[in-house]
Amino acid sequence: MRSIWKGSIAFGLVNVPIKVYAATETHDVSLHQVHDEDKGRIRYKRVCEFGHEVEYADIQRAYDDGDKTVVLTADDFKKLPEEQSHEIEVLEFVPVEQVDPMMFEKSYYLEPDSRSPKAYVLLRETLAKTDRLAIVQFTLRQKTRLGVLRVNDDVILLQGLLWGDEVRAADFASLDTSVKVSANELKMSSSLVDSMSTDFDPDRYTDSYQQELQQLIDAKLEAGDDVDTSETFGEQSDDDEGEGGDVIDLMAALRASVDKNRSTRSSSRSSSSRSSSSRSSTSRSDDGDGAEQAPAKRTPAKRTPAKKTPAKKTSTAEKTPAAKKATTAKKPAAKKKAS
């Protein structure tokens, strides 16, 4: 197998160098088109709608909204930070059963690409032990993609995911009709399932169409029913085979990652609490004594309790930004009513 590209998995502060390989391939017989009269192979030219043949180097991509067209050059795409990224960033870890198989796309094998595969093995064993999927973001063919990391036969597998808005909702009016299934029908159907139940073995199933197609081609070759034509295939160059870097101190990187996440959450909570306390104190000093009594007279539009102790006001740090904004917006109205 040839690697598609080389990069790394960003697992906290731990860097896991890897090579990426396509995990699947098609078994379909490769066919092309020929001219029926002289058996010449059909080639396609790039022609614009004005009738000019265009060289590939002169082709740009564009977006058309129906009224206007925006042309995007190669330089425009280079400005996108994700375009050239070869880093697979771990965003979070989720239970395996929470990812619907409907969202799965193409799969890729990840091979360790450093002198020491310890970081790779650590991530693999962690995924297997915790029974979790790592939700990741990566770039492939100039597109930012969503994916998961999971373990398959002692190899970390990168599996692409559809974005949430790419999965259609099943809305069929025919399913709105109430249909009654009798107990006997369900029992008989379950019995049929039991009689056909077994362990899954993909090797038991074959693509008969492709097999018969290949047999037809072989028969024509043996009968001399063929044409001597030259075949050209483009060769894809290998990626740079340089060795990836080692993880110098794995435990230190892991410990630093955990500490960083904890300190970030703690700092965020403390900052929000101080900001909330400051806003509460400022509001009380600006409104005066009358503003302290005003909450009891507010209209039912106020969603928070009419009376609060100072201790409860400091808990504003846990409110959503929308709730904070609503509370702040009602203060002037209360002051005006108090005056």
CATH of the domain at 82: 2.40.290.10
Residue 152 DSSP one-character state: E
Return the closest-CA partner of residue 146 out of 122, 163, 121, 165.
163
- Secondary structure of residue 205 in the 3-state scheme: coil
Q: Is residue 12 included in any domain, yes or no?
A: yes
Is 90 or 227 the better-scoring residue by pLDDT?
Answer: 90
Q: Is residue 239 included in any domain, yes or no?
A: no
The whole-angstrom separation of Cα 145 and Cα 136 is: 8
DSSP H helical ranges for the chain: 74-78, 118-130, 183-195, 208-222, 250-293, 310-313, 321-338
Q: Is residue 151 included in any domain, yes or no?
A: yes
- For the chain, what is the mean pLDDT? 77
Q: What is the pLDDT of residue 326?
A: 44
Q: How much is the average pLDDT of 307-319?
A: 44
The residue segments making up the domain with residue 133 are 1-24+68-163
Q: Is residue 173 included in any domain, yes or no?
A: no
pTM of the predicted protein model: 0.62
Q: What is the pLDDT of residue 312?
A: 44
**48 residue type, one letter:** C
Task: Find the range with the poorest average confidence among 41-50, 89-98, 210-219, 230-239.
Answer: 230-239
Tokens 């020929």, located at residue: 34
Q: How much is the average pLDDT of 208-227?
A: 88
pLDDT-derived band at 113 (thresholds 50, 70, 90) equals very high
Q: How many domains does one find in the chain? A: 1
**208 residue type, one letter:** S
- Secondary structure of residue 22 in the 3-state scheme: strand
pLDDT-derived band at 50 (thresholds 50, 70, 90) equals very high
Contact call for residues 113 and 4 (beta carbons, < 8 A): no
Q: What is the pLDDT of residue 191?
A: 94
Q: Is residue 81 included in any domain, yes or no?
A: yes
Is 70 exceeded by the pLDDT of residue 197? yes
pLDDT-derived band at 274 (thresholds 50, 70, 90) equals low
Q: What is the pLDDT of residue 11?
A: 83
Q: How much is the average pLDDT of 50-78?
A: 91
pLDDT-derived band at 227 (thresholds 50, 70, 90) equals confident
pLDDT-derived band at 1 (thresholds 50, 70, 90) equals confident
Q: Is residue 90 included in any domain, yes or no?
A: yes
Q: Is residue 185 included in any domain, yes or no?
A: no
Return the closest-CA partner of residue 7 out of 105, 153, 150, 136.
136
Return the closest-CA partner of residue 279 out of 322, 310, 300.
310
The whole-angstrom separation of Cα 23 and Cα 4 is: 11
Q: Is residue 313 included in any domain, yes or no?
A: no
